């Protein structure tokens, strides 16, 4: 992508409405724009990151045997009246009437809608287990939308729902998703801590929240100090072993009953990037769902549900990975892998070398944002640091004369002067 042709509205000043660093940086880096409280446009740079996260989440779920579909964002109220949640959900639900005065709502979550799809198609235990998921917009009319995409009213969520013949089967899927979630967050460059949590408006008998530690997080957490060693990379632990360690959300932490000695107990704040629930038959009972069991009897399917805050993750990754100059994207989610800076646009050698680098990298599948504008060098460097692409490749007149360029790693800051061949070898892997 040529910067001169792109839509990247960077802000020079810190926006006064942003209280936390990720919100500030997303606005400054031209990733999002607020349209109403908790409702955002995703500008091209932000959308690329959102799409990368979405693709990683989908890839890991597909690998785990989950099946993707797409449900509508607008739902008829009748479904929610069947489950009893139409009234229970209260003011968080955005209620709409169509021209025929029929009650609709903008989906805050989709348990009812998925059960409705299940009942239209599944008759027998032989079709179980079945795990369906979607990645789609949700709306919750939060009392206090804040911190940008962290607590939006409109937000992008991965929501999965599994159906099983027995509660034991549902538990097994829950345990499997517990592991899959760790793998997903790891692939996104994050270490998540799974804490025991309340089931709230979703319901069920067991739940874990996946939390990324951050001072600015909205949840209070209590956990075994071993998690800090896992986070720092000092020790490596399997998801199964992690589950044996104590970790609880604020509301479930009872100091008198905590098994961890005081000196090993950590109290911090976290960003909830996902939550899983063992639902049992809450929705299948309420909506009268039955299928034929192995002995010909009627059984009520048992369920689980599994959520990931895809848009919230964009903010969470920035909270976990930035410095004073801007964002530092992990390669897996970076909007472009390389920022190519032409220090003297109009100089024949600089232009020719940049064009060669740009074409070669793009043709090898390495995404490049090419700064071909006439801005000052200082401004170009500052913008590249702000938007946080993993590699910065700078071409200046002296280097171009000798056929060398400068390659900087955004995370470690180290700069190398390299030949064109060596640069390409380094970036095309």
Residues binding ligand P5A (CB under 6 A):
109, 140, 142, 151-152, 155, 157, 159, 202, 272-275, 305-307, 309, 311-312
- If the CB atoms of residues 124 and 198 are measured against ligand P5A, the closer one turns out to be 198
Question: What is the smallest separation between the CB atom of 277 and ligand P5A, expressed in angstroms?
Answer: 6
Interhelix angle 310-320/44-63, nearest 10 degrees: 110
What tokens appear for 257 in the block?
Answer: 């009953």
Q: Which residues contact 307 (CB under 8 A, 6 or more apart)?
A: 109, 157, 158, 159, 160, 274, 275, 276
- If the CB atoms of residues 155 and 336 are measured against ligand P5A, the closer one turns out to be 155
Question: What is the smallest separation between the CB atom of 265 and ligand P5A, expressed in angstroms?
Answer: 24
**Residue 371, beta-bridge partner list:** 341
Question: What is the smallest separation between the CB atom of 295 and ligand P5A, expressed in angstroms?
Answer: 32
Pairing of strands 67-68, 130-139: parallel
Question: What is the smallest separation between the CB atom of 151 and ligand P5A, expressed in angstroms?
Answer: 5
- If the CB atoms of residues 217 and 307 are measured against ligand P5A, the closer one turns out to be 307
Question: What is the smallest separation between the CB atom of 155 and ligand P5A, expressed in angstroms?
Answer: 4
Question: What is the smallest separation between the CB atom of 247 and ligand P5A, expressed in angstroms?
Answer: 15
Q: Is 97 exposed, middle or buried (0-12, 13-18, 19+ CB in 10 A)?
A: exposed
Residue nearest to ligand P5A (CB): 309
Separation between Cα atoms, residue 263 and residue 254, nearest integer Å: 16
Q: Is 309 exposed, middle or buried (0-12, 13-18, 19+ CB in 10 A)?
A: buried
Question: What is the smallest separation between the CB atom of 214 and ligand P5A, expressed in angstroms?
Answer: 13
- If the CB atoms of residues 142 and 362 are measured against ligand P5A, the closer one turns out to be 142
- If the CB atoms of residues 141 and 224 are measured against ligand P5A, the closer one turns out to be 141
- If the CB atoms of residues 159 and 372 are measured against ligand P5A, the closer one turns out to be 159
Question: What is the smallest separation between the CB atom of 305 and ligand P5A, expressed in angstroms?
Answer: 4
Count of CB atoms situated within 10 Å of the CB of 184: 26
Separation between Cα atoms, residue 54 and residue 332, nearest integer Å: 11
- If the CB atoms of residues 307 and 396 are measured against ligand P5A, the closer one turns out to be 307
Cα–Cα separations (whole angstroms), residue 392 to 348, 368, 371? 21, 10, 10
**DSSP characters for 102-144?**
-EEEE-S--HHHHHHHHHHH--BGGG-SEEEEEEEEEE---SS
- If the CB atoms of residues 158 and 253 are measured against ligand P5A, the closer one turns out to be 158
Q: Which residues contact 270 (CB under 8 A, 6 or more apart)?
A: 193, 195, 211, 212, 213, 214, 217, 219, 221
């Amino acid at each position: 992508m040529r910067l001169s042709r792109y839509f990247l509205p960077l802000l020079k000043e810190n926006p006064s409405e942003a209280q936390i660093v990720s919100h500030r940086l997303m606005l400054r880096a031209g990733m999002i724009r607020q349209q109403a409280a908790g409702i955002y446009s995703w500008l091209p740079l932000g959308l690329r990151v959102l799409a990368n996260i979405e693709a990683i989440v989908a890839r890991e779920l597909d690998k785990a045997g989950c099946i993707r579909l797409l449900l509508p964002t607008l739902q008829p109220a009748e479904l929610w009246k069947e489950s009893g949640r139409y009234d229970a959900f209260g003011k968080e639900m955005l209620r709409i009437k169509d021209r025929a005065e029929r009650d609709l709502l903008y989906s805050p979550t989709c348990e009812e809608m998925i059960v409705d799809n299940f009942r239209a198609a599944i008759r027998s235990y032989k079709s179980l287990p079945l795990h369906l998921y979607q990645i789609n917009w949700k709306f919750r009319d939060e009392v206090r939308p804040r911190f940008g995409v962290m607590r939006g009213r409109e937000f992008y969520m991965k929501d999965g729902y599994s159906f099983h013949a027995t509660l034991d089967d549902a538990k097994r899927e829950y345990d499997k998703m517990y592991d899959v979630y760790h793998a997903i967050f790891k692939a996104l460059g994050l270490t998540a801590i799974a804490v025991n949590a309340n089931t709230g408006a979703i319901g069920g008998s067991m739940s874990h929240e996946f939390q990324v530690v951050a001072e600015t997080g909205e949840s209070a957490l209590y956990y075994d100090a071993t998690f800090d060693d896992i986070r720092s990379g000092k020790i490596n632990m399997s998801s199964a072993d992690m589950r044996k360690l104590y970790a609880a959300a604020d509301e479930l932490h009872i100091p008198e009953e905590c098994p961890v000695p005081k000196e090993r107990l950590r109290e911090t704040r976290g960003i909830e990037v996902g939550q899983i629930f063992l639902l049992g038959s809450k929705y299948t009972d309420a909506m009268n769902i039955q299928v034929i069991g192995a002995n010909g009897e009627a059984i009520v399917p048992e369920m689980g549900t599994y959520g990931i805050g895809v848009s919230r993750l964009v903010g969470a990754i920035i909270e976990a990975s930035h410095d004073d100059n801007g964002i530092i994207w992990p390669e897996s989610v970076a909007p472009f892998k390389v920022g190519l800076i032409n220090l003297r646009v109009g100089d024949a050698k600089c232009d020719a070398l940049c064009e060669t680098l740009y074409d070669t990298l793009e043709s090898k599948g390495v995404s490049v944002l090419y700064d071909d504008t006439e801005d000052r060098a200082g401004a170009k460097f500052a913008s590249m640091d702000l938007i946080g692409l993993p590699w910065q490749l700078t071409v200046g007149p002296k280097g171009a004369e000798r056929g060398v360029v400068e390659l900087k790693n955004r995370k470690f800051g180290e700069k190398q002067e390299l030949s064109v061949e060596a640069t390409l070898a380094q970036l095309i892997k």
